[in-house]
Amino acid sequence: MEGVEEKRLAKWVRLCGVAEAPAPGEVAEAEAEGISVCIANIGGELSAIDNWCPHRRGPLGQGWIERDCVVCPWHGWSFHAKTGVAVSPEGERVEAFPLRVEGADVLIDIE
Ligand code: FES
């Protein structure tokens, strides 16, 4: 319809408590509404990406941090913690979820 802008609706859900979030330099697995998420802490800043590596579904939340990336524990594919774009190999990616902290809760937008 003319003049009607299609707006993306956000759906913020609780991922975990701030106290349960990983410490700087660490990653963890968490779940929100049945979605398995890798939550990373880089320099005190939290971010969230899909937990399942597109290679063979390795659990990224059991991997580790290298610079700004989460490294898959199975074969070493590496994804930028904020964008989900793979640094190695190029051309791959996982979904990245907008994240915000509200009070004692870590929320992500799963829409
Ligand atoms: S499953 Fe992640 S690199 Fe192979």
**pLDDT tens digits, residue range 36-78?**
999 999 999 999 999 999 999 999 999 999 999 999 999 999 9
Give the confidence band of 3 by pLDDT, cuts at 50, 70, 90.
very low
Residue 56 CB–ligand 1 contact under 6 Å = yes
DSSP string, the chain: -TTPPP-PPP-EEEEEEGGGSPPTT-EEEEEETTEEEEEEEETTEEEEEESB-TTT--BGGGSEEETTEEEPTTT--EEETTT-BEEESTT-B--EE-EEEETTEEEEE--
**pLDDT tens digits, residue range 79-106?**
999 999 999 999 999 999 999 999 999 9
pTM for this prediction: 0.92
Residue 75 CB–ligand 1 contact under 6 Å = yes
Q: How far apart are CA 30 and CA 15, in angstroms?
A: 7
pLDDT exceeding 70 applies to what percent of the chain?
Answer: 94
Q: How far apart are CA 72 and CA 83, in angstroms?
A: 15
Residue 58 CB–ligand 1 contact under 6 Å = yes
CATH class label, 12-109: mainly beta
**71 CA to middle of ligand 1, Å?**
9
Neighbours of 82 (CB within 10 A): 18
Domain spans of the chain? 12-109
The angle subtended at Cα 85 by Cα 79 and Cα 27, nearest 5°, is 30
pLDDT given at position 8 = 76
